[in-house]
Amino acid sequence: MMDTVQSSQAAPPTPDSVAVVQLYDTILLHVSRAAKAARQGEFQVQFDEVMSATRIVDGLNRHLDMAQGGQVAINLREMYQAVSRALLRSVGKEDAGEACDKLIAGLRDTRNAWASISGMPQIS
């Protein structure tokens, strides 16, 4: 009976999946700071925050296992590339705050999916 109970439970979170959630949290922090800086006209701060976020996104992208990840890895790669492009294009633009807000919403959804896999709390 104990074997049945154990096999029906989700696998415990791995350190890797927890780290991915933490990286997403850090990306969200930088993008939020970039949005705030853009709204205040502090474009150097916005640029610095965008660069910090894109470095993390690039790191996640480079660590995808494309050989074993299948369609999920392909989708993540496309998303990471699109996020990086959108962040870099937002720098110095009048609507940069709104652009960052849209990115935050999408990144939060993906972060929460990873959090579900990892048994970590969702954020809103």
pTM: 0.87
To which residue do tokens 């937002």 refer? Answer: 90
How sure is the predictor about 53, in pLDDT bands with cuts at 50, 70 and 90? Answer: very high
- Report yes or no: 6 and 115 within 8 Å, Cβ to Cβ: no
- Spatial distance between the Cα atoms of 77 and 79, rounded to a whole number of angstroms: 5
Show the domain range for 87: 15-118
Average pLDDT for residues 50-71, to the nearest whole number?
A: 97
How sure is the predictor about 15, in pLDDT bands with cuts at 50, 70 and 90? Answer: confident
* CATH of residue 34: 1.20.120.340
Please give the tally of structural domains in the chain: 1
- Does residue 4 form part of some domain? no
- Does residue 10 form part of some domain? no
Which distant-in-sequence residues (6+ apart) come within 8 Å of 47 by Cβ? 91, 92
